[in-house]
Chains A and B, each alone.
Chain A
Amino acid sequence: MSHGSKITLACAGLAVLVAGCGASTAATKPPAASKNITLNVLYMNQAGYTAQALEKMGQAFDAKYAADHMHVHFTFLPYDQMHNTIVTAAAAPTAQYDVVLSDLIWTAQFAQKGYTLPLNGDISKSIANPAGIPAAIWNGFKIHGKIMAMPFLANFQNFYYNKKMLQEAGFSGPPTTMAQWVTQMQTLKKKGIVQYPYEEGWREGEGFTCDYVATAGEFGANLFNKQGQPTMNQGGALQALQFMRMLYKDGLINPASLASGSTTAADTFIAGQSAFNTNWTNVTGMMNSPSESKIVGAGVVGTFPVQPGTNTVTGTASVSGFQGLAIPANVPASMQGWAWKWIQFATSPQIQAQHLHSQWPIWTSVVNSPKEQQLNPAYAVYEKNLAGVYNRPKVANYLQVSAIIQQYAHQAIAGTIPVQTAANDMVSQIKALPQ
């Protein structure tokens, strides 16, 4: 091969490579002539509305705005990947997602860093009756007067129990106090009805923090006082940690709970392998679904047992997991209007009323509707648990705070370090965090 031919061949090779790269880039771009508008929505596939329910909402939205060639496209991720994905997407010059599902625990961080847009203007203009959503839910997304997300999921935890197992053990109803609960668990275990009466998702993760918050609530305590100072080493918060350690030490909770999440815990409960589970509202649907549950008819939603003398107003204690729809700050101005239209549509009472089997609605009017009462016989219990929610702290460095809580609480329950030492270390480390 001559020298010239070699150079020609090499140039041709390079040209093919470059052309190939160009072709690939071109293929990913939408056709210039198309007038289609795609609204990218980031949602989780773990709790709340099911993917099918969301797709149905999306189809209804597409149909409503068919003249504008609108199409809603969903990306579903596990909850644990949501925050990281939203933060990473915020680093891009232009948003990858036009609407994101935002947990209330991210409100302070997103507001401080400016990752999502305040929605005050849109809400005051377009939401005719904001008082139709309970103030407790609104508060999850409000900080310094800004509303960082429109409430979408009124998620909170319920106390689930297996009625059949309790009857077999000689109990006519669920426990109402912590002492009764322990007695029931001990009896269930002693009689061999179930090896481990209680099942939870206490693997280090946000779900574990939620369970600790709910347990502290059962003892009438918050993990942080009104001044925002951590209080895990005293009062009800410390009692809660001691209680959780006792459950593990006495074999009342399945030791596997320390290595599993809330989904696994729910699966174990609906498989009829535990008598108690505290979990998110979506477990009601799972529990009553004949295709996936072995405890249809036996699984019941109840209020949480509480320490006598605490929670006197509500008689229960739960943990909030409210989630809202937010618009990332790097969404182009041209898409912000569409993003709000979708938020308004998906959070409307009309749409929420169509998906009652999938999720507890945010609107009081829908909660009190005859359809909800017919579909969800436990709706009165839901209302009580919602009224009794305890919140996680609304601080910008919440995820660091939560990581410290998870690390030390996990070690305390497993018995690696004494409960009081773990609680003291937890408090001192949280106080040492840069503000």
Chain B
Amino acid sequence: MIRSEKTLRPSWAHRYFRAVSGENVWFVLLLIPAVVILLGVIVVPMLWALKMSLANTVVTVVGGRGSVGGQFVGLHNYVVLMKEPQFWIALRETLYFWIVSILIELTIGIGMAVLLNRPFPGFWLVRAIIFIPWAVPTVVNATLWGMIFNGNSYGALNDLLLRWHWIKTPVVWLNPAPVFAQIPWLSHLFSAIGSNTAMNAIIVGDEWQTLPIVAFLVLAGLQMIPHDYYEAARIEGASAWKQFTRITVPLIGPVLSVVLILRTMQLLRAFTMIFTLEGYGLPVLSIDAYQQAFSFGDFGLGSAVAFMIGFMALLIAYFYVKNLYREELQ
């Protein structure tokens, strides 16, 4: 009997043929372009970069033909990175940039979304205006903030603060100098966690541009929560804070996880604004990867740094998904 069932079960080839034939042909054909693009622009380059990170990869020109290649060295590049003080400094700066930015987005971003979720006169106009910074190209945004943070008295921010007598001399906002320099222990503490004047200024400029998209994604999540839940909570006497923590936060968990994963990936590999304003002077991991590969010509080490960024993003994303989805289930 058992033997006969085994005989009747279709082979894997038959099952595969059935899966891609009949009604499924249409779906398979439509999927092909997306799969080809994903393979071409993500999977293949990623595997190529992994190969580069495991080799002593450099640019060579032999017989008039340029190429990128090198001998397989296993995990040597990763070991070299771990031994380099510069890598740990870059990691510290990157983590500071990520954590502070995410905290700002979670507090101000959600706050903005909650405010925008309430109807008020002209709310459509406000929503449109708030969204404008997101449409500004990153290089333009960097240049704009470069002018605002100009360290001379004619810099927009310095000019304003001088007029209001909040400062006596112009502040060089884009100099990576320690904060709270007058209080040594506090200054050392902040330096130890990767904080400096330039980093904080860049966080402000970056958040100005990205907060709108965070607010709008959270707003989309808020609008999916049925009003009945709040109505029932009000009847039961729940305060506004309790409604927020017991209804809003759990129900926007999936949206928040998407926002956090998206922003974490963006923040860990943040490059344009930092490079435009600081060059190699603010060594976050993405700048380190670029400098190792393109300036020092060590594409193996550069790829290893890039993979470390990817690995960090993967770990953090796993943490978000696991925790935020669990909250939704509760």
Question: Of residues 26 to 42 in B, which have CB atoms within 8 Å of A's CB atoms?
Answer: 26, 29-30, 32-33
Residues 156-172 of B, flagged 1 when their CB comes within 8 A of A and 0 if not, give 00000000000000101
Which listed residue, B29, B64, B151, B280, touches A259 by the CB 8 Å rule?
A: B151
Nearest-neighbor residue (CB-CB) of A207 within chain B: B279
Chain B residues within an 8 Å CB radius of A109: 297
Chain A residues within an 8 Å CB radius of B30: 10, 13
Known contacts A91-B67, A258-B175, A14 near B151 by CB under 8 Å: no
Determine whether the beta carbon of A333 is less than 8 Å from that of B64.
yes
* A92 within 8 A of partner (CB): yes
Cα A207 to Cα B275 in complex, Å, equals 16
* B60 within 8 A of partner (CB): yes
Residues 296-322 of B, flagged 1 when their CB comes within 8 A of A and 0 if not, give 110000000000000000000000000
Which listed residue, B33, B64, B291, touches A329 by the CB 8 Å rule?
A: B64
Determine whether the beta carbon of A256 is less than 8 Å from that of B152.
yes
Nearest-neighbor residue (CB-CB) of B26 within chain A: A6
For A, the interface residue count at a CB cutoff of 8 angstroms equals: 50
Known contacts A10-B30, A91-B66, A203-B281, A84 near B198 by CB under 8 Å: no
Cα A258 to Cα B150 in complex, Å, equals 11
Max chain A C-beta neighbours (<10 A), residue from B22, B29, B33, B66: B66
Question: A176 → chain B, closest Cβ, in Å?
Answer: 30
Cα A328 to Cα B191 in complex, Å, equals 44
Question: A85 → chain B, closest Cβ, in Å?
Answer: 9
Chain B residues within an 8 Å CB radius of A13: 29-30
For B, the interface residue count at a CB cutoff of 8 angstroms equals: 41
Question: B38 → chain A, closest Cβ, in Å?
Answer: 15
Known contacts A113-B58, A115-B61, A205-B279, A403 near B291 by CB under 8 Å: yes
Chain B residues within an 8 Å CB radius of A332: 64
Nearest-neighbor residue (CB-CB) of A414 within chain B: B177
Residues 402-415 of A, flagged 1 when their CB comes within 8 A of B and 0 if not, give 01001000100010
For the complex of A and B, 8 pairs with smallest distance between CB atoms? A256-B151, A204-B281, A84-B294, A10-B29, A259-B174, A329-B61, A330-B66, A91-B59
Chain B: residues with CB nearer than 8 A to chain A? 22-23, 25-26, 29-30, 32-33, 58-62, 64-68, 150-153, 155, 170, 172-175, 177-178, 191, 198, 278-281, 291, 294-297
Chain A: residues with CB nearer than 8 A to chain B? 3, 6-7, 10-11, 13-14, 17, 80, 83-84, 87-95, 109, 113-115, 195, 203-205, 254-256, 258-260, 268, 273, 328-333, 397, 399-400, 403, 406, 410, 414, 416
